[in-house]
Homo-oligomer: A and B are copies of this chain.
C-alpha cells in the first residue's frame, strides 16, 4: 500500500536517531582501529556499537522500503541509503543528511545553492577521507613492505589522493587497501569536482556582483 505521508512522518522522526547512530558508528570504528593497546572490553563495546548501528540502518531501510508503494522507484530514489546498507564504509555520507536535518530544524538554511553544494560535498569528502584513512591504516599497518606506518601517514595519503595530487611517497600495497583507494578515488574525486566546480561558479558570481560591468 502506498502511503507517502506515513513514510514522510517516519523519515522526520528517524532523522535524529539515525544521524546519532552514524556518528557513533564512525567514532566506535575510529576507537577500535586507532587504539590497539586499549583493554579488551573497550573493543567489545566498540564492535557492539558498530553492529548495532549497522542493524539500525538495515532496519530503517527495510521499513521504508516495505512501506513504499513502488519499490524499484524507491531504491532508485534512495540509492545512497541502499549502498550504505551494504558498504558500512560509506555510512558517513549519511551524516551529511543528518547535518542538513539539524540545520533545517533551526530554521530553513539561507545559504546560496553554490555554498550549500560546496559545504555538503566538502563535508562528505572529509568524512569519506577519514573513513578511508581508518580502513587503509587498519589493513596496511601490519603488511610487509608497507609505506603507511602511522595513522598520520594514512591521513596524508588520503588527502593527496582526494586532491588527485598523488605524490606516491606513501601508497597502499595490500589488496583491501587498494580496493579502498580505488573507491576513494571514484567517490571522492567526483565530490571534490563538485566542490571545485561550485567554488569556480561562486567566485565568478562574487566578481560579477561586486563589480557590475559598466554599461
A residues near B (Cβ < 8 Å) are: 108-110, 113, 116-117, 120-121, 147, 152, 156, 159-161, 163-169, 171, 173, 175, 178, 181-182, 185-186, 189-190, 192-200, 203-204, 207-208, 211, 213-214
Instruction: Say what secondary structure dominates the interface of chain A.
Output: helix
**CA of A181 to CA of B186, assembled, Å:** 19
* Cβ contact within 8 Å between A190 and B196: yes
Please tell me which one of the listed residues B167, B178, B190, B192 contacts residue A166 in the complex, with CB atoms under 8 A apart. B167
Identical copies of this chain, number: 4
CB pair A113–B204 under 8 Å, yes or no, is yes
Alpha-carbon gap, A186 to B164, bound state (A):
11
Sample (17) of A-B pairs whose CB atoms are under 8 Å apart: A109-B211, A113-B204, A117-B203, A152-B178, A160-B185, A163-B185, A166-B168, A167-B167, A168-B168, A169-B171, A190-B196, A190-B199, A193-B196, A193-B197, A194-B199, A194-B203, A194-B204
